[in-house]
Amino acid sequence: MSVLKDKTIVLGVTGGIAAYKAAEIVRILIQRGAKVRVVMTRNAQEFITPLTMQTLSQNPVATDTFSLTQESEIGHIRLADTADAILIAPATADVIAKAAVGIADDLLTTILLATRAPVAFAPAMNVNMYAHPTVTENLERLRSRGVTIIQPAEGELACGYEGKGRLPDPAIVVDEVERMLAPRDLAGERILVTAGPTQEAIDPVRFISNRSSGKMGYAIARAAWRRGAEVKLVSGPSSLVAPHGVERIEPVSARELLDATAQNFPWSTALVMAAAIADFRPAKPASQKIKKSASGMALELAPIADEMPRLAARKGNRIVVGFAAETENLDENAHDKLRRKGLDLIVANDVTQEGAGFAVDTNIVTLIAADGSAENLPKLIKDEVADAILDRIVSIRSRKPRSRSGGAVIRRAQGSHRRRS
């Protein structure tokens, strides 16, 4: 279930050219289950109409502190009190400055002073304006009060300049709001996730692979970042977009994926091996394209060494999670892999079940822990399965000593933090 399900998000739209992107932000917020109330400054209405925002949000748009009709129907204090989060997007230098020093001269800035909800600002402005010391100081002042500052993107700006100052993609803005509202129970964890298939070359134009799409691993990486972890994603070839906030490493072959995992293992506090790594590779890949022959082709395969037991043997206080995608004897094979590879948890699924195979958005899994406990999950979307796996990591961590590997102490902050501007 989305973090935003049934949450009331107050979206403040200010007067910048990026105001047109606020319409897409509203659409994504609603798509993820939120209720959206829009507040527009006078200047914002020069760029996009309240009617557009009202139509998309399916709620009246608040624009004027002193409108008797709006005040009776909406009420600035009621907006401040009922908000689960407040997002200012785009946030101009003007509204950032007012919020930083506590000026409340319009409806939006009044709501910012009255609210006790978490607040996020998404700055969008000219590159030189964004780099101005005053703007930098004002953003730092807001950040010191617990306000989330969503970093602007770099690129070509509407004013013709190139640089940092663009409002990020609306989906990224909404991702940041989700992270702000999500429990921070993985704060301090450094989670290394593997995902996707590997490709083993037959010749320069052909390879052998498997049906994995990477969706499960990407969902885990996305959910771990949302819950406060630092995340690295070691992904085999996949058409999926890298989750926002996650560092993606892109090997191709099983050997490359295993090497990248081993190299980053010392950095991690938890490893989740969701990748479908090849068990075999062509013994003698050809240096040139193999020509078609009526007699066919015999392909000799060599085994690929399993690195999981070696990594698990030096895991220390790290948590190691594996996957067992099976077509028969699920329970027996999963328990054998759990024991043989020295895992803390294994995620087992029968890929012959409808809704549990490759390249689908759902999964049906059993979570089996090293202590013998098992949990059968119903068919869930992979984002929900990801959170269930991470819940088990949090539970396992509570029974393990805190790790100091890599020079960082594991710190967990339970629940979302309340912020005010």
The pLDDT value given to residue 237: 97
The pLDDT value given to residue 413: 39
The pLDDT value given to residue 378: 94
Q: What is the spatial distance between Cα 170 and Cα 24, in angstroms, rounded to a whole number?
A: 6
Q: What is the spatial distance between Cα 204 and Cα 201, in angstroms, rounded to a whole number?
A: 7
CA end-to-end distance (rounded Å), the chain: 28
- Beta-carbon-side half-sphere exposure of residue 31 (alpha carbons within 13 Å): 10
- Catalytically active residues are 159
- Within 190-232, residue ranges assigned H as helices are 215-226
Q: 313 and 256 in contact (C-beta within 8 Å)?
A: no
Q: Where are the beta strands (DSSP E) in 29-172?
A: 35-40, 85-91, 119-123, 148-149, 153-156, 162-166
The pLDDT value given to residue 175: 97
Q: 83 and 10 in contact (C-beta within 8 Å)?
A: yes
Residue of 63, 56, 78 lying closest to 13 (CA atoms): 63
- Within 245-372, residue ranges assigned H as helices are 254-264, 308-313, 330-340
Q: 150 and 119 in contact (C-beta within 8 Å)?
A: no
Residue 402 has which token pair? 């805190």
Q: What is the spatial distance between Cα 197 and Cα 24, in angstroms, rounded to a whole number?
A: 33
What domains appear along the chain, each with residue ranges and CATH number? 8-181 (3.40.50.1950), 190-407 (3.40.50.10300)
Q: What is the spatial distance between Cα 61 and Cα 53, in angstroms, rounded to a whole number?
A: 7
- Beta-carbon-side half-sphere exposure of residue 384 (alpha carbons within 13 Å): 13
The 10s digit of each residue's pLDDT in 334-378 is: 999 999 999 999 999 999 999 887 889 999 999 999 998 999 999
The 10s digit of each residue's pLDDT in 175-225 is: 999 999 999 999 999 999 999 999 999 999 999 999 999 999 999 999 999
The pLDDT value given to residue 178: 97
**pLDDT digit of tens for each residue in the chain (421 aa)?**
689 999 999 999 999 999 999 999 999 999 999 999 999 999 999 999 999 999 999 999 998 766 655 555 566 678 999 999 999 999 999 999 999 999 999 999 999 999 999 999 999 999 999 999 999 999 999 999 999 999 999 877 666 667 688 999 999 999 999 999 999 999 999 999 999 999 999 999 999 999 999 999 999 999 999 999 999 999 999 999 999 999 999 999 999 999 999 999 999 999 999 999 999 999 999 999 999 888 888 899 999 988 888 888 888 999 999 999 999 999 999 999 999 999 999 999 999 999 887 889 999 999 999 998 999 999 999 999 999 999 999 999 998 865 554 434 434 333 444 444 4
Backbone angles phi, psi at 121, to 5 degrees: -115, 135
- From residue 245, give the alpha-carbon distance in Å to each of 96, 221, 300, 410: 24, 9, 41, 19
Q: 237 and 216 in contact (C-beta within 8 Å)?
A: no
**Number of neighbouring beta carbons within 10 Å of residue 232:** 21
- From residue 105, give the alpha-carbon distance in Å to each of 61, 65, 102: 18, 9, 10
Four-residue CA torsion sign, 80, 8, 218, 154: negative
Residue of 186, 321, 196, 189 lying closest to 267 (CA atoms): 189
Q: What angle do CA 354, 357, 362 make, to 5 degrees?
A: 75
The pLDDT value given to residue 419: 43
**Number of neighbouring beta carbons within 10 Å of residue 139:** 22
The pLDDT value given to residue 132: 96
Confirm whether pTM is higher than 0.85. yes
168 upstream amide cis, omega within 30 of 0? no
Q: 275 and 304 in contact (C-beta within 8 Å)?
A: no
